[in-house]
Copies of this chain bind each other. A is one copy, B any other.
Amino acid sequence: MTAAADHHVVIVGAGFGGLEAARHLAPTGLRITVIDRRNHHLFQPLLYQVATASLPTSEIAWPARSLLRRYKNVTTLLGTVVGIDKAGKTVLLEGEQPIAFDTLIVATGARHAYFGRDEWEPYAPGLKTLEDATRIRRRILSAFEQAEWEPDEAARAPFLTFAIIGAGPTGVELAGTIAELAHDTLRGDFRNFDTRSARVVLIEAGPRILAGFTPDLSAYAERALARLGVEIRLGHPVSQCGPDGVELGGEFLAAKTILWAAGVAASPAAEWLGAPADRAGRVRVEPDLSVPGDPAIFVIGDTAAVEGADGKPVPGVAPAAKQEGGYVAGVIKARLAGKAPLPPFAYKNAGNLATIGKRAAIVDFGWIKLRGRLAWWIWGVAHIFFLIGLRNRIAVSLNWLWIYFTGHRSARLITQGNTGTPRQTE
């Protein structure tokens, strides 16, 4: 095990996959370095709640180094990886010396993608980071503020029209929550219009919403959204996005707020590695999640294209990333211990969930499907459970007392401006 003790594992990305790998590897005593360009781990499944002003940023993000503090053999670094030197076995960083590795785990996630229409981004922001969420929150809230200034009803309408492009879980969650914001939360706050006149339009190119679910659950979700006042437009891809609205199926929808929930692309890890990738830029990994031809480098989470045992692609969700992180840690441990290689990675579907506003949800565990209020409670409890798993301080009312007695602080987030080049002050 002396070789193992000298062995340096570098993990790029402190998301679900990277953190899980670090936690599984840490007890071996290996030297581990976790690099992320943000200082925080983000609980992405609740990001839409920040975007819709339901949760403050600090409730769904925690300093990565704080989550790893008890592992003294794990060093956490805030840094931006710009490339990987496979031959030299180093990770290349912006403004810092390269970092050498013996084994590398790439878990750099995904960004939203515009399918070749990157020029739409300024008009239709997507939702992947805390900054994305506060930007969308600012857009939504500002639209109502703008409407309050506009005396003419026709001129006001575009400010009160919210177009959401893409009806996967994120699009559905955004649409449902914005509808509640307009019809419920903000009601009575404005003098020159009724917030209930706001239109929330969910646009989907495919034939139904939540295509990852069964048709009956999709149909239920459509009815639940309609009850919240959300308009659903199916079967028409958006052909144009601009500052004044979107164009779909030859029709122009005047909307000052457009949100993008239609697609993601992997981070540029495939380029760094010169590795084969799928259409979304995800690295096509070996059955043990290593890079073809380079067994010392693994790719996991949203950055990897993995096939499940059933031949279906493993979805880009948190449980999949965590399973992959844990699996790769096992592969590395077996190798260093000289044991037999693990069987190929097999994804265990923990269930598929989506919420529609605050009273309905759909849950598909495979063996049972649920919808409605019970599903919502299951969704809520599941998410609260995972939140608490990371952070015992749900209550911000307890924040002060907590700081008083333990000294721990929960809001340690670097959210604005520069996102990680350490030596650059702003």
- Which B residues touch A395, using CB under 8 A? 395-398
Taken together as a complex, chains A and B put the C-alpha atoms of A384 and B401 apart, in Å, by 12
Tell me the smallest distance from the CB of A149 to a CB of chain B, in Å: 5
Whether the pair B55, A184 counts as a contact (CB closer than 8 A) is no
Whether the pair A408, B79 counts as a contact (CB closer than 8 A) is no
Give a binary string over A358-375; 1 marks a CB under 8 Å from any B CB, 0 the rest. Answer: 100000000000000000
Partner pick for A58 among B56, B404, B409, B425, CB 8 A cutoff: B56
Tell yes or no: A407 within 8 A of B by CB.
Answer: yes
Tell me the smallest distance from the CB of A73 to a CB of chain B, in Å: 9
Tell yes or no: A412 within 8 A of B by CB.
Answer: yes
Tell yes or no: A411 within 8 A of B by CB.
Answer: yes
Partner pick for A411 among B50, B78, B146, B423, CB 8 A cutoff: B50
Whether the pair B55, A399 counts as a contact (CB closer than 8 A) is yes
Partner pick for A409 among B139, B181, B191, B192, CB 8 A cutoff: B181
Whether the pair B149, A422 counts as a contact (CB closer than 8 A) is yes
Tell yes or no: A180 within 8 A of B by CB.
Answer: yes
Tell me the smallest distance from the CB of A74 to a CB of chain B, in Å: 8
Tell me the smallest distance from the CB of A134 to a CB of chain B, in Å: 6
Taken together as a complex, chains A and B put the C-alpha atoms of A187 and B66 apart, in Å, by 10
Extra 12 A-B pairs, beta carbons < 8 Å, given A57-B411, A79-B149, A358-B403: A54-B399, A56-B57, A56-B396, A56-B410, A63-B189, A138-B416, A138-B418, A142-B425, A148-B422, A149-B423, A395-B397, A396-B397
21 A-B interface contacts by CB (under 8 A): A53-B409, A54-B399, A55-B400, A55-B411, A56-B410, A57-B57, A59-B396, A66-B189, A78-B145, A134-B416, A135-B417, A137-B412, A141-B414, A148-B422, A180-B407, A358-B403, A380-B400, A384-B400, A395-B397, A397-B398, A416-B416
Interface residues of A (CB under 8 A from B): 39, 50, 52-59, 63, 65-66, 69, 72, 74-79, 96, 122, 131, 134-135, 137-139, 141-142, 145-146, 148-149, 180-181, 184-185, 187-192, 243, 256, 358, 380, 384, 394-400, 403-404, 407-418, 422-423, 425-426
